[in-house]
């Protein structure tokens, strides 16, 4: 007869496994064939990422990474509308107001997960079907393969809520062609469908209805080579004419975002005076001036940093934002009261001093993120 302790352990282990495949769980973690599959399962919340999900996904990725029977990792969302619409920002602001540790723990553990994805030794395939924003970008963009569909809506809209494009945005955004990454970071512009591939964010474009068949074929793969997976994805991939996009006037427009300061970018847009430039000025005027200045510096510095150094820098910025007023005001205006009229402090770019910005980038000593 098993000892009571062992029996209890067996029961607990069974409960843990059944919880993970239970349809009500926030994240489903399954092994099918040679694939480890992560399914974000909060469809009503557009699969927004919370701390308990992060705490389930991170150790599972680490386990699969060591498992010789796991050839690749697939991540996807349920509900048909979103891959993952972002992090659970409301929970963080609620905690920040009462001085709870969640604002430290969430960002620290989320960025540690982003790094695990960026350094994952097993091929990692993100099926970014539907809304993919903020925290959802962090769960996908650092992996080997990102498969967009006609339903994909990609954005980093953080400057509109007093934050900055985190989850490694300082690493991948400045590395996109032209100045498109700066444009996306500062304005929060939404890229849709094929444009997500054209901008260099997705690696493949597949019709949404073909994803179940693609997933089945990925699961059936008998070998772990990145080449095999690339070949399979290429066989589903719908060719998009990238050449015309790279040379098109659309990319030329983004050069307006190549100033050394936010004031310079605003000047460029005013001098250009085109309908595109005027529209961008209107957008920028709605964003948090503090966030805009932090974001521009984050991208300029991140352009030459490793992903680990970028995430360490972004953790410092996250804690600066949690200390300041704009993050709470932005979340109030956009997510809580939804009046879309945030009152930023300070209210103008000129009032955000270089000294203040420098301060936000300072190391946090023993509180720094260690990767």
Q: Are strands 72-77 and 124-128 parallel, antiparallel or unpaired?
A: parallel
Asked if residue 349 lies in contact with residue 293, where contact means CB atoms within 8 angstroms, the answer is yes
The reported pLDDT for the residue numbered 200 is 94
Q: Which domains does the chain have, with CATH numbers?
A: 25-367 (3.90.226.10)
Q: How high is the pLDDT of residue 303?
A: 98
- What radius of gyration do the chain's Cα atoms show? 21
Q: Are 217 and 65 in contact (CB under 8 A)?
A: no
pLDDT of the residue at 96 = 81
CB count in 10 Å sphere of residue 351: 12
List 129, 158, 314, 326, catalytic entry: 158
Q: What is the pLDDT of residue 16?
A: 52
DSSP, residue by residue, 85-110: --B-HHHHHHHHHTT-THHHHHHHHH
Distance, in Å, from the CA atom of 215 to the CA atom of 77, rounded to the nearest integer, reads 13
- How high is the pLDDT of residue 249? 45
Tokens of 299: 């991208």
Candidate list 135, 169, 193, 330, residue with the active-site label: 135
Residue pair 15/53 in contact (Cβ under 8 Å)? The answer is no
Catalytic annotation on 22? no
In 3D space, the residue among 12, 7, 75 whose CA is nearest the CA of residue 47 turns out to be 75
Contact between residue 120 and residue 145 where contact means Cβ atoms under 8 Å apart: no
Encoded tokens for 362: 């300072």
Q: Taking the CB of residue 284, how many other CB atoms lie within 10 A of it?
A: 20
Q: In this predicted structure, what is the pLDDT of residue 12?
A: 53
Q: Name the residue with tokens 């966030």.
A: 291
- Per-residue pLDDT 10s for the chain (371 aa) are 444 445 555 555 555 544 445 668 999 999 999 999 999 999 999 999 999 999 999 999 999 999 999 999 999 999 999 999 999 898 888 888 887 888 899 999 999 999 999 999 999 999 999 999 999 999 999 999 999 999 999 999 999 999 999 999 999 999 999 899 999 999 999 999 999 999 999 999 999 999 999 999 999 998 768 999 999 999 999 776 655 555 444 556 899 999 999 999 999 999 999 999 999 999 999 999 999 999 999 999 999 999 999 999 999 999 999 999 999 999 999 999 999 999 999 999 999 999 999 999 999 999 999 99
The answer to whether 110 and 163 are in contact (CB under 8 A) is no
Question: Is 259 considered catalytic here?
Answer: no
Q: Which residue in the block uniquely carries the two structure tokens 């000593």?
A: 365
Q: Is there a catalytic annotation at residue 158?
A: yes
Can you tell me the distance from the alpha carbon of 181 to that of 38, in angstroms, rounded to the nearest whole number? 28
Contact 126, 40 (CB under 8 A): no
160 is catalytic: no
pTM given for the model: 0.91
Look at residue 349 in the predicted model and tell me its pLDDT. 98
Q: Which of 87, 130, 160, 169 is catalytic?
A: 87
- From 166, 215, 326, 329, active-site residue: 166
- What is the pLDDT at residue 8? 55
Tokens 């006609």 belong to: 150
């Amino acid at each position: 007869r098993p000892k009571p302790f062992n029996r209890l352990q067996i029961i607990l282990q069974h409960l843990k496994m059944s919880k993970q495949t239970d349809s009500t769980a926030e994240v489903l973690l399954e092994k099918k064939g040679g694939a480890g599959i992560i399914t974000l399962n909060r469809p009503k919340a557009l699969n927004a990422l919370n701390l308990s999900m992060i705490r389930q996904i991170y150790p599972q990725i680490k386990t699969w990474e060591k498992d010789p029977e796991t050839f690749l990792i697939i991540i996807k969302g349920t509900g048909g509308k979103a891959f993952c619409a972002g992090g659970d920002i409301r929970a963080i602001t609620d905690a920040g107001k009462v001085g709870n540790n969640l604002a430290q723990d969430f960002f620290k553990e989320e960025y540690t997960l982003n790094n695990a994805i960026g350094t994952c030794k097993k091929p990692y395939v993100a099926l970014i079907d539907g809304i993919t924003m903020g925290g959802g970008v962090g769960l996908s963009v650092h992996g080997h393969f990102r498969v967009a569909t006609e339903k994909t809506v990609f954005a980093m809209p953080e400057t509109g809520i007093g934050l900055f494009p985190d989850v490694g945005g300082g690493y991948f955004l400045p590395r996109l062609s032209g100045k498109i990454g700066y444009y996306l970071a500062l304005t929060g512009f939404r890229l849709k469908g094929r444009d997500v591939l054209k901008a260099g964010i997705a690696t493949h474009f597949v019709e949404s209805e073909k994803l179940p068949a693609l997933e089945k074929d990925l699961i059936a793969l008998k070998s772990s080579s990145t080449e095999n997976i690339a070949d399979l994805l290429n066989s589903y991939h719908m060719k998009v004419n990238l050449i015309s996009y790279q040379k098109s006037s659309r990319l030329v427009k983004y050069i307006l975002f190549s100033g050394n300061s936010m004031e310079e970018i605003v000047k460029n847009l005013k001098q250009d005076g085109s309908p595109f430039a005027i529209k961008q000025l209107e957008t920028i005027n709605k964003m948090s001036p503090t966030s805009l200045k932090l974001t521009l510096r984050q991208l300029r510095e991140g352009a030459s940093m490793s992903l680990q150094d970028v995430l360490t820098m972004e953790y410092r910025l996250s804690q600066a934002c949690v200390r300041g007023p704009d993050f709470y005001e932005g979340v109030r205006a956009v997510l809580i009261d939804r009046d879309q009229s945030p009152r930023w402090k300070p209210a103008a770019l000129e009032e955000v001093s270089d000294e203040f910005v420098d301060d936000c980038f300072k190391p946090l000593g023993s509180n720094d993120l260690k990767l």
